[in-house]
Amino acid sequence: MTTTALAWTTLLAPLVAAALIACFTLKHRALSAALAVAGIGTGLVCSVAMAFRILGPGDPVREMHEFTWLASGGVTLKFGVLVDGLSVLMSLVVTGIGLCIFVFSNGYMKGERGWSRYFACLSLFAFSMLGIVFSTNLVETFIFWELVGVSSYSLIGYYFERPSAVEASKKAFLTNRIGDFGMTCGILLTFFTLAKAGIPGVSPSFTFTEIAPVFHSGVLKPFEADLALGAFLVFTGAMAKSAQVPLHVWLPDAMEGPTPVSALMHAATMVAAGVYLVCRTYFLFAPYEWPLHVVAGLGGATAFFAATMAFTANDVKKVLAYSTLSQLGYMTMALGLRSPSAAMFHLTTHACFKALLFLCAGAVIYGCHHEQDMRRMGGLRKKMPVTAWCYGIGALALAGIAPLSGFWSKDAILGAASGHSKPLYVVGLCVAFMTACYMGRAWWMTFMGEYRGGEAHAGDAAHAHAAPAVAHAAPAVHASHDPGHDAHGHDAHGHDAHGHDAHGHDAHGHDAHGHDAHGHDAHGHDAHGHDDHGPHGAHHGGEPQEVPWVMRGPLVVLAALSVVAGLLNIPAPLAAHGAHLEHWLMGTAAKPGPSWFPEAPPEVFHWDVAIGGTIAALLGIFIAWKFHGAAKSWSVDRFVAGIGPVHGWVERKWFFDDIYLFLVKRVQQPIADFCGFVEKRFLKEIVVDGIAVVSHWFGRQIRLLLDGHLHTYVTMALIGVLYLFVMLFATAHAGPGR
Amino acid sequence: MPPVTTAHYVMLSAILMGVGLFGVVTRKNAVIVLMGLELMLNAANLAFVAFARHHGNLQGHVFTFIVIAVAAAEAAVALSIMIALYRLKGSITLDDAQELKG
């Protein structure tokens, strides 16, 4: 097989799997799962094969296969696959992490309704993402970009019986549409500017490999203003997908999807797309200054704000969601700091450990019977040792502790920041500190101490007033399962065993949140079909249990990857031949075309940066231990009191949702009302209705002429004929020329 | 006796037309109205033939034959409408048929 054929196979295998599932195996659970896993597995095998061909010992090569999709009026749209270091790396991430998540889903989704739909959507998601990865041109990228949006919509809204999930999927979709609109404008602006430029020998094109050399060559200098704006607009697309401030609001809400979906979205597919897009179209950004400054600034802001928000989250998944936001901010910052290879490196390592962390969270949620609130966890280290170990590795990697993978990639970004922009370097260090701190908090709350799940939650009432908005994410999960599984006979096991849920919710005053609709206060766990979770029915006590091997396996694999992924790009003084990943991504001067990223000095290891980052991380862990460790020597409440209003700001998520709400209610709504007024009062009642009224009136008058007498009609016809005669004579005699 | 010229034919045609029109406009009986219509048609036929003779070609004859054929069909249709009208109303006075007035 040629390299491009391998790429086509990688791309199409998940699509074929999705199509087969949708068409034939909706009723066969095992077959659906097997097809999905086989699809992504094929992709992984082909990606590895491609990696061996592309990333051989010599210079990396770039291969492309493209065919014309449609041609019209001088614009040719093409479709194809582009295989180089960048796309192969990303494809390895998507298929490798994807495979782990697909396998994990086999355990996590056990007994869920819509199992086959889930796997079909998952495969479609992987296909869409791989489409972006292998895309050869901007239009193809945009098509798959939209497909990613659609498939994420279907997966975030997987539990479509639950209003909050529907809201979340809508929010994700609409927020992404804002970015997509910007991206469309950016693509068109770039294309038409190229067309307008009319540089000899350069035909306007969407294909990356054709336009990249033009941008690199510098002949487009006179069109800098338009092209820089185009680059920024393309970035707005990335901003929405990769959840950068201010378009990040959809991401925390997207936790409504099943946990493996969150893992997939946060590691390999959705949010990685934005960073990948900017890397792929880096030639658009590289020649200009201000778009990259905006990118770096937004990245830093996202990293910082999201890290603070992670402290107030009590949902085991939400912490990770904010952490993803923050790490995406890191990547975007690296992009803005002209260090795309560092961004891709962090993307790769982050994909490993964030997928790991999410799957661990999924395992915890599964083991704790769909409990998501960390305040009702604790002590799980003894009950779920494998999960705890894996989570620990993931958390340490995320915190950036040497020699785990996160250390190397974070170090690369901090190194780039220290070289380019001191303020961003400080922000980066702060974020490193906060990352370690909130991950420590999550670790101690979830895995250390004593299990708090079974207690009546007297203590929670105190917390409840602080975070009413966050806490009700947990009960909503229970609503996801269908009623009517009593037939399984699990009621006999006495679901009072799960009664802690019900206690907890009452204590939180969830009735006020309208969860009555789900029958929550009725202790009605049988009504929620909780019993459908096969193994859950087996243990009665509500004690957390280690998850089955189908879920533990992927965790262990991902944990191993999280440890070693840093080896990809260990910089110069420490490794013999310098940073491999960077070498692959830079793509040297191999044919066709010049290197993908602008020339930059090779990355080297800075001891000061590494020590600074490590100190920040260790300090963060230490402080987390002080607050949340066994001794609890420092009190969170006193700290919260100490920082005063800041805590409230963080808890309100820095008012982003409020700002959007304000914009929608106070700005957009009046405009809409005004337009509605104009439309209703002026356009409808005056223009449209006015024409109708006048016509009607004339009709009524003219109607009277027709009195039903044949003679009247004949007379009128006669008058008409006479008139015609008169006119004929008049013109015949008046017009001299006739 | 002066020779019969085209002008004579045309004048006869005009007179026929006038008579027919008078009948159509003034009479209430549908049959009389139909007769007036036929007179008008034949006035036109006469004019066609007269002008054809005047110009020495056959185009007028062609029109005349078409008009005769159409007039035959028209008479058949008109008479059947009158029969239907008579069955419906018991008379063929045109003033009785004015359901479609505005």
Note whether A616 and A433 are within 8 A (CB). Answer: yes
Tell me, what's the pLDDT at A509?
36
d(CA A345, CA A665): 41
Q: Supply the DSSP symbol for A546.
A: P
B53: CATH: 1.10.287.3510
Closest CA to A256 of A246, A265, A243, A245: A265
Tell me, what's the pLDDT at A232?
93
Tell me, what's the pLDDT at A125?
94
Q: Domain range spanning residue B55?
A: 6-98
Q: Is residue B56 part of a domain?
A: yes
Structurally, chain B folds into a number of domains equal to 1
Q: How many CB atoms are located within 10 Å of the residue B21 CB?
A: 18
Which among B25, B100, B102 has the least Cβ separation from residue A704? B102
Tell me, what's the pLDDT at A735?
61
Report residue A369 CA to chain centroid gap.
Answer: 27
Averaged pLDDT, groups of 10, chain A, 738 residues long: 89 94 88 93 93 70 85 85 88 93 90 88 94 93 93 91 91 91 93 83 81 81 88 92 88 88 87 91 88 92 90 87 91 90 90 92 86 80 87 91 88 88 90 92 85 55 38 38 37 37 38 37 36 39 74 88 83 66 60 57 77 89 83 76 78 81 88 93 90 94 83 88 92 67
Which among A703, A707, A711 has the least Cβ separation from residue B25? A711
Tell me, what's the pLDDT at A205?
83
Tell me, what's the pLDDT at A60?
62
From chain B, the residues in CB contact with A707 under 8 A are 98, 101-102
Q: Is residue B65 part of a domain?
A: yes
Which among B21, B26, B98 has the least Cβ separation from residue A709? B98
Q: Is residue B1 part of a domain?
A: no
Q: Is residue B49 part of a domain?
A: yes
Interface test with A, best of B29, B93, B98, B100 (most A CBs within 10 A): B98
Closest CA to A145 of A113, A182, A196: A182
Which among B21, B24, B101 has the least Cβ separation from residue A708? B101
For the entire predicted model, the pTM comes to 0.74
From chain A, the residues in CB contact with B98 under 8 A are 707-709
Q: Does B73 touch chain A (CB under 8 A)?
A: no
ipTM exceeding 0.90, yes/no:
no
Considering only residues 21 to 40 of chain B, which have any Cβ-Cβ distance to chain A shorter than 8 Å?
21, 24-26, 33
Banded pLDDT at B94 (limits 50, 70, 90): confident
For B86, half-sphere exposure in the C-beta direction (CA atoms, 13 angstrom radius) is 10
H or E element at residue A63? strand A63-72
Note whether A372 and A471 are within 8 A (CB). Answer: no
B68 or A450, which is more confident? B68
Tell me, what's the pLDDT at A588?
43
Q: Is the link from the previous residue into A246 a cis peptide, with omega within 30 of 0?
A: yes
Q: Is residue B45 part of a domain?
A: yes
From chain A, the residues in CB contact with B102 under 8 A are 702-708
